[in-house]
Every structure is written in structure tokens, then in C-alpha cells.
A and B are shown apart, each in its own frame.
Chain A
Amino acid sequence: MDRNYAQDLLHAIERADRAGAMEIVNAWAEGRSFERVVPELLSPTLEAFGVIWSKGHGGVSLATLYVASKVTEDVLARLLAEAKAKGHTHPSKGPVVLGNVEDDFHPLGRKMVVAFLRTEGWEVLDLGVDVAPAEFVDQAEACGAKVIGASAMMYTTAKNVTRIRDEIDRRGLTGRLQLAVGGAVFKLRPELVAQLGADGTAASAVEASALFEGLWKKAVAAEGALRKVPS
């Protein structure tokens, strides 16, 4: 009977067995290219967690998602090491900028999102905690990012999202630079996403890549529309 690697990986992560999870990944990759791990094994497993989480957690704790992010980092590390050894470069989905908003010092959620985005092929510029609005936009412009991800845990710091929105608009980048937000406060008060001027959020870190893909497309469409405007 064929081994169900995805199920085994799911259970290893649930047990917080980081080393065991990598053994399963490595076993799956025997006789296959390791590059296939992400699309064919890891991503479907993470999606399963995301589905469970979005339906009311179903026993999936924050710690379980944290273990999943650590396994993701392990896979990514091996992937990058192999690519470097072979002189390969992976196709990038594009540069994006992430950080905690000004006055916010809760990095865990952001770090998990960074890990998942990198695994999905995003080129993430991680600015860390307590990032000023202008810094977000400066860095996005410098690296050509079309999406900023801003993380905030509490309402008082989440209000700084409006200052990033203002900075984007002030520089005439509305639409072309999309603003994603995440953090506990947006789960508690989802209406804040629109109220504070953000363009979208995701229910969990594992769903961030899908959100960023959608926002990236919107940014590209906005750029296209701008080019069509007669001068």
C-alpha cells in the first residue's frame, strides 16, 4: 500500500515533530526532484491547515501553525542550498515588503507569513518590527514591490495602517501598490481592514500567498489602466 506522505506530514506537524516532518519530506523526495516538495507535498499540507483554521481552528493551535512555519523554513533552506549548489535561480513571483506597523513589536505572525510567502516563491523584504509608514513605501518603491504586508496585533497600533495608506496615496501609488494587513486585531474586528484603508487580509499565515497573488494582479491591472489613460 502506498504511503500517504501528506497525511504523515500533517500528523508530524501536529505532534510538533519538526525533525520527523523533515524525514517525511526527505523520504517523499527520494527519487524525485526536491523542487517538487513545495507544490506537491508541502503546499497541499499547508492548505489543509488553512482550511481547518478558517473553519474555526478545529483543534489547530497557533503552535501547530508555528511548527508548520518552521518545517517550511527547513524545506526552504534545503531548496535554496540545492539551488545555490547547482547555480540555479528559482523563478520569483515578485518582490513584496513586510513589516510590523509603527509601535508594534509582535513579530511572530509576520515571521510565519514571511516563511510561507518565501516557500511559495515570493521575494520577501522583511523590514522587522516598528516600521514607519514612509519606510514601508520607500522600500517597496526601491525594490519594485507591488504589495506591502503590514502586521499589527492591537487596535491602537493597527490605526497606523491608515498612515501607510496615506503615504501610498500621497505618492500617487494608489492601486499600483496594494496594502495587505494581518494580525489578531483584524480577526477580532474584520471591519477594520476596510476602515483603515487596507486592500485585503488573510485568515491565516498559510493563506497569505493566495492573498498576495490576488493583490499583485490588482496592482498589475491598475498599472495597465494607468498606461491606457491618454496624457
Chain B
Amino acid sequence: MNSLERVLAALQNQPADRPAFFINASLYGSKLTGVGLEEHYTQAHLYAEGQMAIRETFSPDLLISPFFVPAIGEAFGSRVSQRKQQAPNISVYAAASAEAALKLPLPDVDSHPRLVYLRETIRILAKAYAGEVPIFGVLVSPSDIPPLVIGLEAWLDALLFQPEVAQALLDRLTPFFVDLGKAMLSDGATGLALTANLANGFIVTDAVAETLTLPTLKRALAELPGPVILHHGGCPLVDQLARFKGLPNVVAYVLDVDEDLGRARQNLGPGPIVMGNLNGPGLLNHTPDEIQALCDRAFTQKGDDRQFILATCSADIQLDTPPECLAAITEAVCRAGGVEA
């Protein structure tokens, strides 16, 4: 089986030669290519070469466009700055409040340099791996865009104390989100991976989630002509699955670190894929043997559930993670499937 067939098997609850797996190695690709981070996050072909190196070295079953969502904030006018050991992050926001953000022009998904960069990585990877490896475009849901444009504090102020302004901003941002998602799919992305932190009860109150962010998310997802992976985005997800279950086009859920895969299945019911539950940034704290044990624990937890993809959660795998730690994941899935690594 190739990776696309393996992932489709998980989606269709069919047997596969081995469990499919995903590693969030968006940043780590630069370690394998030796490309500086500034080039890695500005030149699409260099980023794509990083993902290809990840594929060649570790054989993950899904590849992704840059895990670099501050690029979306930059498209609205926020300033990002390059960090020494991580993806660029926002240093100055485009606006100070939700009201001010309402006056910002919507970025053009076809011409803004950073958005063009994100999309070009998808085109290159989709062409290289057509019919072989699923490529996912990374973005954020409409309610997670304002923290990249005005900051989380200003966005919480609007959601909590000015709900009508918050709704107006969500209504304004949703067409941009849909345009970007559609563009990524037309570029060749197999699907989209996104966070919805501001619809998670860990971050916002039930009232905010139920009246503002979740209804917006449902409307936006319904307009996307492709499958979606909902990523936990740093928040616990298992206890929120009742809320997120059944969202339009969502075919998989990435859990938080160490969250119980069996409980996730109970909460979701049959149908969507459960992904998890390895600590991506924390891999560097473990020996390869320990990582294989964590993979085995995940396989035990998921039992005979075929709708499962072993995945690193949380943020990027860190640059100082030894490659042996990632190879240990490959070895664990191959051993679980009885195939050669």
C-alpha cells in the first residue's frame, strides 16, 4: 500500500498493511535540508524540499504545508519576525481591537506574498506526490484568525464584552477563510488541517462557543469542498469532542498530548479518524526505545480501531530532536504492521 491508500483505508475503516502515521515536521524539514529558517519560511521550493526529505527519511503518510499560521496574520498587516529555532511569529499586530480589524482590507489569497508562498508549497508537494501521499494545507478557522491580527487579549475582549462586534468580525473573516481553503484545495491539497481554539471550552466560555465561534465554524466548514482535519491547537480536545463531533467535512481529529484514544472514540462514535497522541515538541526528552514504547501504548489504547492515525500533537517537533527519535516512530508503526521499516 502507498500512503494515500493507507490513509484512505483508515478513513473507510478498512484494513491496512500497517498503521498510518503523521509527524509534525514542518520546522524539522529545515534540519534535514540544512536550509536557514528565513529561507525555509519564504521560499516554497526550499520548504517543499524539507518535506520531501522528511518523507524520504521517515516515511510519514501525510505531508503538510508550512505550520506557520502567523503568515495569515501577516497577510492582514501584522508584523512577523524570524526566531532562532522556530517558525516566524508575530511581533506586532495589525490592529489594536476587533473594531479596528473590521476596517482592515481582506488579503488577496492570489497575490499576498506569504499566502502565495503557502499555496506554492502545496502545488509543489501535490505535484511530486500525486496519488501517493496526501498533502494537507494548514490554516486556522475564522475564529482563530483575530488572535493573529489583534492578539488574543483584544479578541477575548470582543468575544466576551462586545459580542456584536465579534460577530461582525467573524462574518467579515469567514469569506477570506473559505477563499484560502478553496485555493489550497485547488492547488492540489488533499484536505485542510486547522485549529479551532476559540471554539474550545478550554479557552472560551460555553456561551461564546455556542453563540459565536462554533456556529461560524460550522457555516465556514460547510463551504469547503474538501476534507478537514481538526487539530487540538494546544488545547485538550477529548472532552470537547461532543461539541465538535459532526462538523461539516471534518474527517479526523488530532488530540492533545497523551489524551486517551479509546475515550476519544467513545466520545466521537464511529466514522471520523482519531489522530494522536505523541508529544511532538517533547520527543527530544525521550530515548528511541521510550518513544517506541509510547507508540505501543497508543496502539494498545486504540485496540482494534482501524480509524486511527498515530500522530505527533502540539507544536512542531523541535530542531534539536535527534533523528533517531523520529525513526523510532517509523520503526514502531512498521513493527505494528509486520512490515519492514
Contact = CB atoms under 8 A, between A and B. Distances in A.
Contacts of A191: 285
B260 to A, nearest CB: 14
Contacts of A107: 151, 153
Nearest to B156: A66
A61 B205 contact: yes
B103 interface: no
A165 interface: no
Interface string B198-227: 000111111110000000000000000000
A62 B91 contact: no
Interface residues of B, number: 32
A12 to B, nearest CB: 12
Secondary structure at the B interface, as helix, strand, loop or mixed, is loop
Contact of A16 (B151, B161, B314): B161
Centre residue among A107, A108, A111 by max chain B CB count within 10 A: A108
Contact of B208 (A63, A106, A130, A184): A63
Interface string A112-156: 000000000000000000100000000000000000000000111
A14 B86 contact: no
Interface string B1-37: 0000000000000000000000000000000000000
A105 interface: yes
A188 interface: yes
B111 interface: no
A63 B204 contact: yes
A152 B83 CA distance: 14
A189 interface: yes
A62 B282 contact: no
Contacts of B234: 184
Nearest to B282: A189
A85 to B, nearest CB: 27
Contacts of A106: 152
A67 interface: yes
B314 A111 contact: no
Contact of B207 (A16, A18, A130, A155): A16
A11 interface: no
B89 interface: yes
Interface in B252-299: 257, 279, 281-282, 285
A18 B161 CA distance: 8
B282 A188 contact: yes
A61 B203 contact: yes
A130 B84 CA distance: 14
A62 B90 contact: no
Contacts of A67: 160
B86 A62 contact: no
Interface in A191-210: 191
Nearest to B152: A108
B91 A130 contact: yes
A188 B233 CA distance: 13
B315 A16 contact: no
Contacts of B236: 57
Given A107-B153, A188-B257, A155 B281 contact: yes
A195 to B, nearest CB: 9
B160 to A, nearest CB: 4
A87 interface: no
Contact of B205 (A63, A103, A159): A63
B205 A111 contact: no
Nearest to B27: A156
Contacts of B282: 188-189
Given A67-B160, A156-B85, A156-B86, A108 B205 contact: no
Contact of B203 (A59, A63, A156): A63
Nearest to A195: B285
A155 B318 contact: yes
Given A57-B202, A59-B201, 19 more contacts: A14-B205, A15-B205, A15-B207, A61-B205, A63-B203, A64-B205, A103-B83, A103-B84, A103-B89, A105-B90, A130-B91, A154-B281, A155-B315, A156-B318, A188-B257, A188-B279, A188-B281, A188-B314, A189-B285
18 contacts: A14-B205, A16-B208, A18-B160, A59-B201, A61-B201, A61-B203, A62-B202, A62-B203, A63-B159, A63-B208, A66-B160, A103-B84, A105-B89, A107-B151, A155-B281, A156-B318, A188-B314, A189-B285
Interface of B: 83-86, 89-91, 151-153, 156, 159-161, 201-208, 234, 236, 257, 279, 281-282, 285, 314-315, 318
